[in-house]
Amino acid sequence: MTDPKEIAKRLVGRDPALRPMLSTKIHPPRRRDDLLQRPRLLTALATQPGPFVLVTGPAGSGKTVLVRQWLDQLDEHVGWLTVDPLDNDPARFWTYFAAAVSAGSASHSVAPGQSKSPEALATQLATMAPFLVVVDDLHFLVEGEVLAQLSQLIDFWPKNVRLVLISRAAPPLRLARRLACGELVEVRGSDLLFTEEETEKVLRRPARDPLAAAVQLSTGGWPVAVGFAALLPDADRHSTPTVRTRQRIADYLTQEVLRTQPSAVQDFLLDTSILDEITVGDANDICGTRDAALQLEHLDRHDIFLTRLDGTGVDTWRHHSLVRDHLRRTLERAQPDRWTHLHIQAARHFATREIPRAIGHALAAPDPDLAAELIEQVIENFDGPRSGDKVVTAQPLRWLEALPDRLFADHEALRLFGLSLAAAWARSDLVDRWLAARPAGGAVTLEDLFIKVWRADLEGDMPSCRDHALRALTMSKPQSPWWHYMYSMLAPAQHMLGDWEGEVRSLHELQAPLGDRITRGEGSVQEFYRALLVVIWSRQHAPIQVASSRQLLRDWLIEAASLGYRSEGWVDWCDAMVAYYSGDISTASRWEDLPDHSLFPDSPLDPIMLRLDQARIRRASGDRARAIVLLAEVRTRLSAYADPGRYPQWVALEEAALGIVPLQRAPAASIPPTLGTSTGGPLSPREQEVLQLLGSEFSLPEIAAHLFVSYNTAKTHTRTIYRKLGVRSRSAAVARGRILGYFS
């Protein structure tokens, strides 16, 4: 297996933005020969081959230990990835995933980032020699985008590579079919509980020993609780209380072991509990001590609370998660001033090398002014709102959400950063909150117009979106992030309004030169812009412009491919429409698969334009039934828009060509007696479910993940809710819904 430290260095060398890359995340945990071997579980894993293994159970149930022991029995290469909450950023997660695969494969490496689709990554995995990929602590992945991409990868997963998933709960991935086909081996929390015989071995007691039976009864065979009980004197084991929750057992045992340690050790454990990973240098600097090396050596030697991490290049330890949580609660409750001081020290310590970690400590202190100062360092590297770019995920938005409103009044850059992220995640509540924090008075600013453009797009008001974007462009610096954003919103609005000349001008402005690197998001956006330009000229029957713009698209794809980009399918759509408008229906009808438009959740073009184009081709090829279905889908999606421009006319033309007589719309069902009245009829059961979640703290992508629907579907429901309730924001929709009785 390739050294994870070397893999980390190699990937950082390719992309300096990856610093610091923790090799601990892609290195298996240290082998522990002193822990109980579990033949019954190891045999089950060894005798049930399959491409997928899922190990689930609560914290402290021995999931990672079991998998590590199983790997020791296998003669296979292993790639290991330990997930943490920051991995909800797709770019970060797939970078580390690529590093883990590269570390595990004997002969291949995978480039970092999101340049490959899940299908392409699975194809590359299929060419490798057999090995295992382990993803530990999968429960930390909660963002719908990363989970959706991982689900797609699992759909295409090759049989020559085994995927082992370790999580506290069953992950929201498409694994049911794998289980039904016998391709998934499951080890659950109930399987991981110690039997009476295993508890006796851990406690080193004879068979049918009363003390071992008492511990088994009080802990339920929970491995970490039994392990802690083994550290207690016999008398204290007899006094182990019978409690109902594992957390209370963990707290009790932590207290019992903690109080047996010298006071200096207790203080050190409490102080270092604020750290996710502990090194001698970090501990000395943050805790203000000089004996961290001695304390860590003592704790490591006595096997108390800490786990040593291998493969870091620097001796690194980690608290057991349950113990850490208890120590943190104890420190915050008993020594609040010390809690604040340590977090501030940690924030300043990490500020020069790990800004996200530093911000987390500043918010935990809490010291919002320090957190704002650190976040402004992030803003310096932020390139503004960009249509379709979802690399910046919810983490920065959560930092900002935790800050008091006074900081947004005093710091314009912080407010603009927050508004751009809130708009990207459709968080109308945060947009309203931070706009209200602005100082009163003053002329209309770019900030005001940005919000108006975003709201108009969210509501499907294309004329307003166009007008506000054009005004904003007169105030934007050319080639600036805000200038780019306004054009990226203007082009779709011009398209839906039938302004082909204006759309062509906007697309030309958006076709920025390729840089020296390209991400999947940037590549897909650029491919789309270039392909759309070809289609527009094809509609205008301008063969010279079609030929030149098509050649530019081909040349761009060659250059992008040299930088690691793989077409997302927009060129296939482009070729089909060129064939259609030139009368080559046979060639056009070969187009079946829609482009990957997951990176365009805000754009009306992907779900509406593409289906309308497919309907045109199906009608022309004689597939009337499919054309009718596609047109019905388009009409349904258009109903969510306040003003969808000329699209209803274009749909009507296609329906007329099919001989469809527009049906009179059925009258809206009467509103239930318990509800009030709204401007657009009652909400459907699904819309009511979405409205309930809009009243929660979930972002729109999180709502989509919760409902197991796409982000675009969730946004369509939201638009329909706004239209029916006659409102323009999330907070207004919730307030109106309460008045109408949609909230119990």
Mean per-residue pLDDT over the chain, rounded: 78
Looking only at the bridges linking them, the beta strands covering 77-82 and 161-167 are unpaired
- Percent of the chain topping pLDDT 90: 14
> Could you count the other beta carbons within 10 Å of the beta carbon of residue 321?
16
Helix/strand/coil for 571? helix
- Residue 514 predicted with pLDDT over 90: no
- Return the structure tokens found at 444: 């209309």
Sign of CA dihedral 326, 329, 333, 334: positive
Q: How confident is the model at residue 300 (pLDDT cuts 50, 70, 90)?
A: confident
Peptide bond into 673 cis (omega under 30): no
User: Which residues, at least 6 apart from 723, have a Cβ–Cβ distance to it below 8 Å?
Assistant: 459, 640, 642, 679, 680
- CATH assignment of 477-657, among 1.25.40, 2.60.40, 1.10.132, 3.30.420: 1.25.40
* DSSP-H helix ranges across 411-445: 412-424, 428-436
The per-residue pLDDT for range 674-690, each reduced to its tens digit, is 333 444 578 888 888 88
Q: Kindly list the domain boundaries of the chain, sorted by start residue.
A: 4-192, 196-258, 477-657, 685-739
User: Which residues, at least 6 apart from 191, have a Cβ–Cβ distance to it below 8 Å?
Assistant: 41, 44, 57
Q: How confident is the model at residue 308 (pLDDT cuts 50, 70, 90)?
A: confident
Would you list the DSSP string of 655-670?
HHHTTPPPPPPPPPPP
Could you tell me which of 620, 721, 631 has the C-alpha nearest to residue 679? 721
Cβ-contact 145, 552 below 8 angstroms: no
Please give the radius of gyration of the chain, using alpha carbons only, rounded to the nearest integer: 29
CATH topology assigned to domain 4-192:
Rossmann fold (3.40.50)
The per-residue pLDDT for range 119-177, each reduced to its tens digit, is 788 888 888 888 899 999 998 888 778 888 898 888 888 888 899 999 877 888 878 77
Peptide bond into 478 cis (omega under 30): no
Per-residue burial over 216-244, b = 16 or more CB atoms within 10 Å of its CB, e = otherwise: bebbebbbbbbbbbebbeeeebeebeebe
- pLDDT of 727 reads 73
* DSSP-H helix ranges across 25-84: 39-47, 63-72
CATH topology assigned to domain 685-739:
Arc Repressor Mutant, subunit A (1.10.10)
- pLDDT of 528 reads 84
- Residue 397 predicted with pLDDT over 70: yes
- pLDDT of 404 reads 92
Q: How far is the CA of 482 from the CAs of 164, 386, 471, 474, 503, in angstroms? A: 43, 8, 12, 11, 18
Could you tell me which of 702, 691, 679 has the C-alpha nearest to residue 731? 691
What amino acid is encoded at 351 in this protein?
A: A
